[in-house]
Structure 1
Amino acid sequence: MARPPLFRRAKVTRIVKETPDTRTFVLEPHDGPFSYQAGQFCTFKVVVDGKPYFRSYSMSSCPVTDTEFMTTVKRVPGGTVSNWMHDNLGEGDEVELTVPTGRFCLREGDVPVLGFSGGSGITPIISLAKNTLATTGREVRLLCADRDRTSAIFEAALDELAARYPGRLTVARHRDDEHGYVDAAKVLEFVGPHSAGDAYICGPEPFMELVENALPGPGRIFSERFGGATAKPTPPAVGASKSPAVAAGPLAQAASTGASAAAPAQSAATEEGTVTIFLNRKKKSVPRRDGETLLESARRAGLTPPFSCESGNCATCMAKLTEGKATMRVNDALTDDDLDEGYILTCQAIPDTPSVTVRYE
C-alpha cells in the first residue's frame, strides 16, 4: 500500500487563547481524523515571503480523551513559524502538516509518571498525563515551570484534571519570578520517594539538561527535543537512542526516545560506492563519502531536500531506503511501523553498504 503524501492539509476550526502569547489550534484534517498517540507531534510547513519553513509542534490533545485534534503554539521572539501562525491563521484557514509521529509516548509500567515541563513543554506532557490517567491506574506528578503566573499554559485544564482524579494527579507550580529558576534541589524535592518513577521531560534545553542531570534514578528518563543537537557528544541517558541499523525491508530493532547526541565530525574522504537520491521526479547520484549523512549527500548532489531540526527529532527529512543499508545516529521521530517500512531520517542516516538508494515522497 502506498504511503500517503508527507504533508496533508487541515482546516483550523477553532483557536483558543491559552495565555497572552500562546494559542491552541483545533485542526480538522481534510482526509479524515489522524490516528496518533499521546505525546506525538506534527511538522508544519509554512511559506513566509516565498520561502518554506518547517517546524514541529506537539499535540496537546489526547486521542483517548479528546474528540478534537489540537496543537498548542507559543509565540517566541524571532520565531518565524510560530509568529506567522499567531498573526495570520484564523478560523477557516488551512495549514499543511505531516501525520503525527514521534516516540515521546507513554511506556508500559506501573510506577508513577513524573512529568517535567518548562513553558510550552507542557504541551506533550498534558497529553501524556491525560492518557495515563484515563487508561491506567498510575499516579501522575507534574512539575510545571513557568516564567510567571500569566505565562502558565493549561493551568485551568490541569486543575480540572486534578479534581477529576483526586489522589492520582499532583501538579506542582514553579514561578521563576517568585522562586527563581528550577535547580537540582527543587527537582529532588519534587521527586521525593518516587525516584523509580518514569520521568518525561520537555522544555528549553537548559531546563531539560538540569532535570536529566538532577534525577537520582533508577527510574527511566524520556526527553522530547525540537532544537539543535547538543554542543558535544554525551553518554546516552536511560532510554536514549540506540541508533539502529536500517535496511530496505522489515526491521525488528527500533530506537527509544532519549537525549539527542551531537553528530560526529564529518570526513571528506570518498569511499567506493554511490548514493542515489530520488526527489521531486529528479534522480541524482554522487560518490559515497565516509561519515556523510544521506541529507548531506542529497545537498551535494544539487538537490534541495526537506529538513528542519537536523537532530533526528522532527521527521521532516524522512525518506524511504529502497536499496542498501544505513545506520541512524539518532531517532526520536520515526515509529516502529515507519522503520519496518524502510523509512529513515536522512539527517541522521549514514550508509553502511557501498551503494544506497533513497526516495523522498
Structure 2
Amino acid sequence: KEKNTVISKGFYELRISEIQRLSKSAVKVSFEVPEQLKSIFSFLPGQYLTFELFLNNEKIRRSYSICSAPNEILSVAVKAVEKGKASNWFNTEAKVGDLISVAKPEGNFTIDTSENKIVAIAAGSGITPIISIAKSLSNNTEMHLFYGNKSEEDALFLDDLKNLAQLKMTNFLSREEKDGFSSGRIDKSTFTEIIKADLDLLKSSIFYICGPEQMIMDIKETLLFFGVADKKIKFELFTTPVLAKIAEPASYFSGTSKVTIIIDGESECFDIKAGGTTILDTAEKNGMDAPYSCRGGVCCSCKAKILEGTASMRLNYSLTEEEIQNGYILTCQAHPTSETLIVSYDE
C-alpha cells in the first residue's frame, strides 16, 4: 500500500489492531478507535464502513459490513473475491498496525428495537451484517436464521452464531453433504417449502435478506407471494448487481440541464447534456469532493436530495420508496431529467 498523505474529506485514520483468519478466503479485521473518534464511529448493528485505499497508485473505495456488536471492538469481515483489489489486499497484505482511511458508519440495513420476532436469510459473506444484528438482540427478541454456504469451511462465524441463545439457525450447504446441515441452495423453491412447513414464520415482524442478488430476488418474491408486506422486507446486496433493467440514458432527457450541486454549504453550477455523465461524475470531474463508494447503486454513500427539478436513476438497490418520494437519489446512478436541477449532499 502506498502511503497517501492527504486524507479525503469525511475519512479518518484508524489503526488495524487485529487480523483473524475466518476461512481460506476471508478475514476479520479489527480497528483501534481513538477516544476522540469514538462518537464518530458509534454504529447501529447492520451498518457498514467505507474504506479508502491507495493500491498501485490508484485510489479505491470499498464498503464492508461491520460484523461486531456496538459493545465490541469495531470489526469488519472481508471475503477475497476474484480480481478484487481491496478484498485481496485485506486478505493477503494488510498488517496489524497499518493505518487505514475509514469513513463513519452508514447504511439502512438496521434493526428496530420494537421488532421481537425476526427472520434472517443470509448466504456466504452476507452473514456479516446479520451477525452484528444477532449479537445485539434485546432479551425479548427471537431470530430464526437460514444460512446458506457452499461448504462448512465457507460458513463464517458458525461457532459464534451457535452460541447465541436467542438465535435458531438452519444451515444449508450447496456443494457438500454433512450431518446437521440441509442440502442445496436457498432459492425460491427451497424457501417456499420452508414457509409451508412453518407458516408461523410469516408472523415475523421483519425479514432481513443478505447475499447475492438472485437469492434476494427469490426470497423477496416468495415472501410477497405469501402476503408479507413489502415494508417488512429489508435486504442488502452482497454481489455486483447484474439483473436490474437499466434505462437508456437517452430516455431521461433530450436537452442540456443546468445542475447546481451543493456540498458542505458550497454550491457550484454545471451543464450536463442528456445521456451525459452522472451527477456524481460531474461533481468529481469539477473538483468537488462528493461522497461515494460502490458506484453500483448498492451502498447509498452517494445519496443526495433534489431541492428543485427532477432526475432519474439507472439502478437503485438501496433507497427505499419513501426516500425516493422525499426526493433522494443515488448520484452515482442519477441523470437530470429537467432543464434545472438543484441537488444537495447536505440534507
Q: Is TM more than 0.5 here?
A: yes
RMSD: 3.6
State the distance in 1 between where 2:288 and 2:76 align: 31
Q: Which residue number corresponds to residue 150 of structure 2? A: 147
Q: Which residue number corresponds to residue 175 of structure 1? A: 173
- Which of 98, 105, 111 does residue 106 from structure 1 map onto? 111
1:1-361 alignment runs, 5 A limit? 5-30=9-34, 31-33=36-38, 34-63=41-70, 66-107=71-112, 109-110=114-115, 112-131=117-136, 133=137, 135=138, 137-161=140-164, 165=165, 168-176=166-174, 177-178=176-177, 179-191=183-195, 192-193=198-199, 194-197=201-204, 198-215=206-223, 216-219=225-228, 220-233=232-245, 263-267=246-250, 269-271=253-255, 273-277=257-261, 285-287=270-272, 289=274, 293-298=278-283, 307-318=292-303, 324-326=308-310, 329=313, 330=316, 332=318, 345-351=330-336, 354-357=339-342
Amino acid at match of 2:150: R
Per-residue CA distance 1:209-233 (angstroms, 9 max, x = gap): 2222333533321110154445344
* TM-score normalised by L of structure 2: 0.77
State the distance in 2 between where 1:50 and 1:284 align: 31
Assess if the C-alpha contact under 8 Å between 1:326 and 1:349 holds in 2. Answer: no
Q: Structure 1 residues 113 and 272 mapped into 2: Cα distance closer, same or farther (>3 Å)?
A: same
Size of the aligned set, in residue pairs, is 316
Q: Structure 1 residues 116 and 355 mapped into 2: Cα distance closer, same or farther (>3 Å)?
A: same
Shift of 1:80: 1.1
| Structure 1: gaps of 5 or more residues | 234-262
State the distance in 2 between where 1:195 and 1:225 align: 22
Q: Structure 1 residues 40 and 302 mapped into 2: Cα distance closer, same or farther (>3 Å)?
A: closer
Shift of 1:50: 0.7
Per-residue CA distance 1:198-255 (angstroms, 9 max, x = gap): 211111222222222333533321110154445344xxxxxxxxxxxxxxxxxxxxxx
Assess if the C-alpha contact under 8 Å between 2:249 and 2:274 holds in 1. Answer: no
Amino acid at match of 1:169: L
Per-residue CA distance 1:58-113 (angstroms, 9 max, x = gap): 000121xx331111111122211100111221111111121111111113554521
Q: Structure 1 residues 278 and 49 mapped into 2: Cα distance closer, same or farther (>3 Å)?
A: farther
Per-residue CA distance 1:135-159 (angstroms, 9 max, x = gap): 2512200011111111110011011
State the distance in 1 between where 2:69 and 2:31 align: 13
State the distance in 2 between where 1:287 and 1:349 align: 11
* TM-score normalised by L of structure 1: 0.74
**% same residue:** 28
Q: Structure 1 residues 90 and 214 mapped into 2: Cα distance closer, same or farther (>3 Å)?
A: same
| Structure 2: gaps of 5 or more residues | 1-7, 178-182
